[in-house]
Amino acid sequence: MSTINYSEKIPNNVNLSEDRTLQRALEQWQPNYLQWWGDMGPDGSQNFDVYLRTAVSVDPQGWAQFGHVKMPDYRWGIFLNPAEKDRKIHFGDHKGEDAWQDVPGEYRANLRRIIVTQGDTEPASVEQQRHLGLTCPSQYDLRNLFQVNVEEGRHLWAMVYLLHKYFGRDGREEGEALLERRSGNQDNPRILQAFNEETPDWLSFFMFTYFTDRDGKFQLCALAESSFDPLARTTKFMLTEEAHHMFVGESGVSRVIQRTCQAMNELKTDDPAKLRAAGVIDLPTIQRYLNFHFSVTIDLFGADQSSNAAIFYSTGLKGRFEEGKRNDDHLLKGQTYKVLEVSNGMLVEKEVPMLNALNEVLRDDYITDSKAGVERWNKVIEKAGIPFRLKVPHKAFHRNIGALAGVKVSPDGRHIHDHEWNANVERWLPSDEDRAYVASLMGRVVEPGRFANWIAPPVMGINRQPVDFEYVRFN
């Protein structure tokens, strides 16, 4: 089952040909998907031959095949991890029972909502990144963008398969709607606000793939625990691809920092104005972008107290990150967790039932994970001998969801008055001037082996190819 059949119209490892009704329904959805890709996928790229990685099996060993392919011909399909024999539910009220192979009627609406919300983020990020190819800093980076885009497209396929197979007519209608919503559209926006923001430049793209795709990792890890076995198997495979997206983000920001540090040492200055005159992105601006993307992403975990989160856990729909490694009873009744609120002008911790705080538990796990990558960025600055450190802002900073929505908190975690916020906001978040400056650097560099002035080349190419390999043939 782990091998993928590419001889079929829709590549899959789920024996699609044995279910003619489902096969026909998905074959009807396929042209609409390709139409959406033509309208909303990477701008002007339909005819390029791109050096892409395609999954050939879902085994951890050697699941990828590399070769030049036109993106509309990419072999999108439906790939699930192999079924675990006699898998049991390991958390919530159904703990110890057999995992579900079908959707229990009473959880149908909630499961559908979870799958639709996850599915909606995938085409949204392709739409957000649609124009980036026109300002790529190198061919290597352009190829990475396209790889991320085709995989987000495949993750949409993964969710649409579940909707079609397990949710009947409702599922088919939801599958259509996933192609009708548009990122940032006033009348028919994407479901989550972070996916309606623009990704206007490559620094934003690298930050997005580092921070926001990491949210994807944590959400998918929580869904990979699901009692609904097909969802758990689908998301486990998606995680393999998600790891590459985060690599693109982490290494992208790291290379921007490396180039800035090089310029600082050459020019012997940390003056942002002088560094900007030299055409690199100064470290304080990178910090402000980090603050923005981090704070927008941690809102994606939802409100700090949520009855939905409690229901999703107790009913076995969505577990915690690495549920199996936690040594508690996996029921969580009677347990508590600390969340933040403002009381008498101070940020204070308050104990609340753990089940209601599961969004916060996931958010805290995410924050720990994010900090590790930021420390790796700091190593680059340290190595260059520059006394500057990037920091993740306090989790109450610039929040728009839950108890902290709209509360004014400084990056170091002080509750402050509006006047202090207004006086400092341009030190803490990207200003219009910052965004205009970063945008001004975005020229298109596509000659193999050449890189824009504001970013360092990578240490190595893709799939053991040289850095100056022709990753994209423009035809």
Write down all domains in the chain, each with its CATH number in brackets: 83-473 (1.10.620.20)
Tally Cβ neighbours within 10 Å of residue 271.
11
pLDDT at 281: 98
* Cα(294)–Cα(466) distance, integer angstroms: 33
Cβ contacts of residue 64 below 8 Å, gap of 6+?
Answer: 53, 54, 55, 56
Distance between start and end Cα atoms, the chain: 37
Helices (H) and strands (E) in the chain — how many of each?
A: 13, 5
Tally Cβ neighbours within 10 Å of residue 98.
12
Cβ contacts of residue 356 below 8 Å, gap of 6+?
Answer: 305, 306, 307, 309, 310
What's 317's DSSP letter? S
The three-class DSSP label of residue 253 is helix
Take residue 161 and report the two structure tokens written for it. 């398969």
Q: Which residues pair with 49 in a beta bridge?
A: 70, 473
pLDDT at 167: 97
pLDDT at 475: 87
* Cα(364)–Cα(395) distance, integer angstroms: 9
Report how far Cα 397 is from the mean position of its chain's Cα atoms.
21
pLDDT at 389: 98
pLDDT at 303: 95
Average pLDDT of each block of 10 consecutive residues along the chain (475 residues)? 83 95 97 97 96 87 86 94 95 98 97 97 97 98 97 97 97 98 98 92 97 94 97 92 90 98 98 98 98 96 96 98 95 97 93 97 97 97 98 98 95 96 98 98 97 98 96 95
Take residue 15 and report the two structure tokens written for it. 């024996």
The three-class DSSP label of residue 313 is helix
* Cα(40)–Cα(123) distance, integer angstroms: 9
* Cα(239)–Cα(49) distance, integer angstroms: 26
- 157, 77 in Cβ contact below 8 A? yes
Report how far Cα 463 is from the mean position of its chain's Cα atoms.
23
Q: Give me the amino acid identity at 293.
A: H
pLDDT at 378: 98
